[in-house]
């Protein structure tokens, strides 16, 4: 065993990779996702039989067709099972991602990428350098001047369990929670390889994680991320139209999952009730329901309400680390956890991967780590600290029987409620001032205002009047001024469902190899959840 965390991690990784290479067969490229190893073996046997035994060839050909039909049907049923589970959890992200994958609408990174001066990067080296420059700017924002802010202290009792050394049962649960089929980090170790290691690898993991916990030294591979650009929409030659997917070490994710699980229960005692993002048992539907209830009641009672929909600029990438540590301290998170997080963040770096080529490493100085299981919780802690300061002493707008609401939040998506234009201006200015000390900045161009009665509102941010809209898509749901009925939202959903149905016309509905029963299941799991 190694004498330090890096040596121990390298020894374990080398053994896992060596075992994986010797025991796991090389996967042949499949033209269709439902083709199994048995099908490929039949293809090989049929190819050999064609040269020596034609009758055997015909027999294998029939067997292959039967097998392919059976595997195709089984594949689509597995897809339907996964989609039913996703629909049950209101996981619309997975539904839309599956639709894009099945319809073939995903696209690779464009080779013709514009550089900062407007010219095109022609060579592979120039493209890598451009991507490195882009993500280095994105993940390293200017830090606020002066000392970090002092968040309001939370009356949460300290929990001795939080900083105790992890036991093997916690590691076992963390490993079980890993999702299969995910790309590995720089160490090339997959979740499947860790799970296949059984109790022997669990004990080795326990030894490594215990060493990291005791020494508070994080292995270098856990600190490094591989960034893969994924095109969103717009001109594919512009870097700004891509988002980066960070691939982190799966072993490092096991370590962070342990901390995240411990922190989650502690956080539930102090989380703001208005925050529903990344919390168990809470979701977008809760915030949309409350927003609609508030608007409907205020409209029926004839009470004018100003709603400000705040948009933060690259919120997750801008968090000031000293402010994050201060926020954790205010939440009474043990110093052991804080120091481990600091050790993970300090010295972290990324490289951009384009077609199996890597750019040079560049340091990361701001933001929560993209792709890390604990990042949403850390971001919520920062945003909650901001909003607690802003709304300290404010009651909000009244609805129901003596109920008051100041704001609704889902991670960084914030909807602020106010009685008057002056109050809304005061609140948004306070949010901007407090958020800046945490590294976050409001995007004035994308921040919109709306009134429940449709009257004109004049709300200002840094002397600039914010744009007023008649409708706004909040967390995917269309909210309208002056209207109690959700007619526009219903029409919007019909349009989305129709588009989803049309995009699957040739890859699903017109396919002869898929039974009608399976097609009906796919319709109920892919199209109906969007409509309903």
pLDDT of residue 89 exceeding 70, the answer is no
Mean pLDDT of the chain: 86
Mean per-residue pLDDT, 408-429: 92
Residue holding tokens 């296949």? 196
The full DSSP string for 13-28 is: HHHHHHHHHHHSPPPP
Q: Are 262 and 292 in contact (CB under 8 A)?
A: no
Q: Are 264 and 337 in contact (CB under 8 A)?
A: no
What does the alpha-carbon distance between residue 137 and residue 115 come to, in Å, rounded to a whole number? 13
For the question of whether the overall pTM of this predicted structure is more than 0.85, the answer is no
166, two tokens: 């992890």
Alpha-carbon Rg for the chain, nearest whole angstrom, is 26
pLDDT digit string, tens, across residues 67-87? 888 888 888 888 877 777 776
pLDDT digit string, tens, across residues 175-194? 999 988 888 999 999 999 99
Per cent of the chain over pLDDT 90 is 40
From edge to edge, which strands make up the β-sheet containing 413-418? 407-410, 413-418, 306-310, 448-451, 467-468
Residue 28: the pLDDT is 58
Name every residue whose Cβ is closer than 8 Å to that of residue 491 and which is 6 or more positions away in sequence: none
pLDDT digit string, tens, across residues 224-268? 999 999 888 888 888 888 888 899 999 999 999 999 999 888 887
Percentage helix, strand, coil for the chain under 3-state DSSP, each rounded to 5? 50, 15, 35
Instruction: Give the residue from 111, 110, 82 showing the smallest Cα distance to 98.
Output: 82
Separation in Å, CA 329 to CA 50, 148, 246, 317, 335: 72, 12, 27, 21, 8
Q: Which residue has the higher pLDDT, 30 or 122?
A: 122
Query: Where do the structural domains in the chain lie, given as residue ranges?
Result: 31-108+492-531
Residue 154: the pLDDT is 56
Give me the phi and psi of 190, to 5 degrees please. Answer: -95, 165
pLDDT of residue 96 exceeding 90, the answer is no
Least confident of 147-161, 260-274, 485-499: 147-161
Instruction: Give the residue from 382, 391, 464 showing the smallest Cα distance to 430.
Output: 391
pLDDT of residue 416 exceeding 60, the answer is yes
What does the alpha-carbon distance between residue 418 and residue 140 come to, in Å, rounded to a whole number? 34
The pairing of strands 464-465 and 357-358 is unpaired
pLDDT of residue 449 exceeding 80, the answer is yes
pLDDT digit string, tens, across residues 285-335? 888 888 888 888 888 888 899 999 999 998 899 999 999 999 998 888 888
What does the alpha-carbon distance between residue 214 and residue 230 come to, in Å, rounded to a whole number? 38
What band does 501 get if pLDDT is binned at 50, 70 and 90? confident
What does the alpha-carbon distance between residue 334 and residue 527 come to, in Å, rounded to a whole number? 46
Residue 369: the pLDDT is 93
Give me the phi and psi of 444, to 5 degrees please. Answer: -65, -30
Partner residues linked to 408 by β-bridges: 415
- Cα torsion 276, 261, 387, 147 to 10°: value is -160
3-state secondary structure of 467: strand
pLDDT of residue 150 exceeding 90, the answer is no
Q: Are 60 and 46 in contact (CB under 8 A)?
A: yes
Name every residue whose Cβ is closer than 8 Å to that of residue 26 and which is 6 or more positions away in sequence: none
Letter string b/e over residues 447-481, b meaning 16 or more CB atoms within 10 A of that residue's CB:
bbbbbbeeeebebbbeeeebebeeebebbebbbbb
3-state secondary structure of 64: helix
């Amino acid at each position: 065993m190694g004498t330090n965390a890096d040596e121990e991690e390298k020894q374990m990784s080398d053994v896992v990779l060596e075992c994986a290479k010797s025991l796991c067969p090389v996967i042949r490229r499949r033209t269709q996702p439902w083709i199994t190893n048995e099908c490929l073996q039949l293809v090989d046997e049929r190819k050999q039989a064609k040269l020596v035994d034609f009758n055997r060839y015909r027999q294998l050909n029939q067997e292959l067709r039967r097998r392919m039909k059976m595997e195709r049907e089984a594949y689509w049923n597995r897809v339907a099972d996964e989609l039913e589970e996703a629909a049950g959890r209101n996981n619309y992200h997975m539904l839309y991602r599956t639709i894009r994958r099945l319809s073939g609408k995903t696209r690779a990174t464009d080779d013709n990428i514009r550089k900062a001066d407007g010219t095109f990067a022609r060579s592979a080296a120039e493209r890598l350098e451009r991507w490195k420059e882009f993500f280095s700017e994105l993940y390293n924002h200017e830090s606020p001047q002066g000392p970090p802010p002092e968040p309001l202290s939370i009356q949460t009792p300290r929990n001795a369990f939080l900083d105790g050394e992890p036991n093997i049962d916690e590691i076992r649960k963390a490993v079980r929670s890993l999702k299969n089929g995910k790309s590995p980090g720089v160490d090339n170790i997959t979740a499947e390889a860790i799970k296949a290691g059984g109790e022997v690898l669990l004990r080795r993991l326990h030894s490594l994680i215990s060493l990291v916990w005791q020494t508070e030294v994080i292995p270098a591979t856990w600190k490094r991320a591989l960034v893969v650009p994924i095109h969103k929409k717009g001109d594919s030659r512009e870097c700004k139209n891509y988002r980066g997917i960070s691939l982190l070490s799966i072993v490092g994710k096991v370590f962070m999952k342990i901390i995240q699980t411990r922190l989650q229960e502690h956080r539930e005692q102090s989380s703001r009730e208005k925050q529903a993002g990344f919390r168990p048992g809470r979701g977008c539907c809760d915030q949309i329901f409350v927003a609609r209830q508030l608007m409907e009641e205020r409209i029926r009672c004839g009470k004018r309400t100003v709603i400000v929909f705040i948009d933060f600029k690259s919120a997750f990438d801008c968090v000031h680390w000293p402010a994050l540590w201060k926020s954790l301290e205010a939440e009474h998170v043990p110093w052991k956890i804080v120091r481990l997080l600091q050790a993970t963040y300090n010295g972290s770096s990324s490289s951009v991967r384009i077609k199996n080529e890597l750019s040079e490493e560049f340091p990361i100085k701001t933001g929560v780590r993209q792709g890390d299981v604990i990042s949403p919780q850390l971001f919520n802690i920062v945003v909650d600290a901001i909003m607690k300061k802003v709304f300290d002493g404010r009651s909000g707008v009244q609805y129901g029987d003596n109920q008051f609401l100041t704001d609704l939040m889902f991670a960084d998506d914030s909807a602020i409620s106010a009685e008057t234009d002056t109050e809304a201006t005061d609140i948004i200015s306070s949010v901007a001032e407090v958020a800046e000390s945490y590294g976050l900045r409001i995007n004035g161009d994308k921040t919109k205002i709306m009134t429940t009665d449709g009257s004109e509102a004049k709300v200002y941010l840094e002397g600039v009047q914010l744009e007023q809209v008649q409708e706004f898509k909040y967390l995917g749901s269309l909210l309208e001024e002056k209207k109690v009925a959700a007619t526009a939202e219903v029409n919007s959903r019909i349009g989305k469902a129709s588009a989803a149905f049309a995009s699957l016309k040739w890859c699903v509905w017109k396919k002869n190899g898929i039974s009608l029963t399976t097609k009906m299941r796919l319709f109920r799991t892919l199209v109906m959840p969007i409509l309903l």
